[in-house]
Every structure is written in C-alpha cells, then in structure tokens.
A = this chain, B = another copy of it.
Amino acid sequence: MRAFAKPLAKLIEELTKMPGIGPKTGQRLAYYILQTSRENASKLAEAILEVKDKIHTCSTCNNFTDKDPCGICSDLSRDAATLAVVAEPRDVAAMERSGEFKGIYHVLQGLIAPMEGIGPEDLKIRELLERINTGIVKEVIIATNPNVEGEATAIYLSRLLKPMGVKVSRIASGIPFGGDLDYADEITINRAIEGRKEL
C-alpha cells in the first residue's frame, strides 16, 4: 500500500499488532498521533517504555505492580484470611473497581485449557498451595470466569484446596444486574435457577 509514507506505514503496522486493532483503527490512531502535539506523542511513547521498565509481577500474588510486594499484598488493612483466585491481572482490576472485596488475591496467570495445551503445572498453582500452607488464609473464593476453562480450573482447585482445611467458594453465576431473562442464554438461565436463594 503505497498510500502511506514509510514511517506512517510502520506506525500503523506496530499499532495493528495490538489486540482488537485492525487496519482501519490502526490508521485512525496513527493519524491521531500525527496530528496531536509532539508533547502528547512523547508522553505516550514514554508511558509505553515506562510500563516495560517499572512494572513486574508481585512475587506474592502475581498481579502487575511497580513495587514488591504489591500495594494490595502489603496493605495491612486488607483481610489476609480471604483470598480470591483469579486468572489474570485484569480480573484483579475488575474486582477492585467494584470496591466490595476487601481480601487479597492470587493471580493464576491463566486457566487450565487442555485444548491449548495449558495444564495445572503451567499456572501459579504450586505458589497458591504454598500460600495456603502458611495457615493465614481461611477462605479461598475462586473467581475465575464462568466458562469451560474457568469452571474446570475451579473444580481442579477445589479438590486440591478442600483437604487443606480451607473453605472454598465459587463466585455466583446468573443473570447480570440490569440484564434481561429474555436475552440470557440457556446456560445462564440454568445457572440462575440452580443458584437461587431463599428469600
């Protein structure tokens, strides 16, 4: 495509390596960068490099952090007896946004997915068991997504964790708040019925 000058074509190429950024969006972002101030472009470039330089994973919970242990693991006001197991750092971010959960986290860095060749040994499960072994954690809330991999991982973990004497729970699955029965799929409706609570 000769329509773009070389540096512009290269920027579009780099942008479209990102997930969900197709050629159209890549082009739109490249034009934005071209037309924004030099200062704004520098800030973006610096933020990209800074994240690579300063962010690493917390040696305790495996969440992304710029210090070790991370802000959550080192926060004494949090309830260290309640540990939520999640697949990815973005799930920690999602739970923190809700503001409801006051416990600590363990990021597995993935889910068991035999089809993709990801087994338990590829996840941070050994590290989770070590944390449970210290005896501080009383309840493990398995907060993996309610899909095939998330469920399989939850079942696998609960079999490992229950014999260790901790309470193991699973986040509820059902109709989302503000959602509509009419638009929910059958599995979600079945989950909502199975998970019903007495009023």
Contacts and interface: CB of A to CB of B under 8 A. Distances in A.
Interface string A4-18: 111110110111011
A76 interface: no
B48 A41 contact: yes
B1 A89 contact: no
Interface string A35-73: 010101111111111111111000000001111001100
Number of copies: 2
A28 interface: yes
Identify whether the interface residues of A are mostly helix, strand, loop, or mixed.
helix
A97 to B, nearest CB: 6
A11 B14 CA distance: 17
Nearest to A50: B7
Contact of A44 (B8, B15, B88, B93): B15
A178 interface: no
Given A10-B50, A48-B11, A48-B45, A96 B5 contact: no
Given A1-B97, A7-B54, A71-B5, A14 B49 contact: no
Residues of A in contact with B, size category: 35 or more
A41 B50 contact: no
B11 A47 contact: yes
A114 B59 CA distance: 58
Interface stretch (A19-27, A118-126, A152-160): A19-27
Contact of A20 (B28, B38, B71): B28
B40 A17 contact: yes
Contacts of A25: 20
A11 B64 CA distance: 13
A18 B70 CA distance: 29
Interface of A: 1-8, 10-11, 13-15, 17-21, 25, 27-34, 36, 38, 40-55, 64-67, 70-71, 88-90, 92-93, 95-97
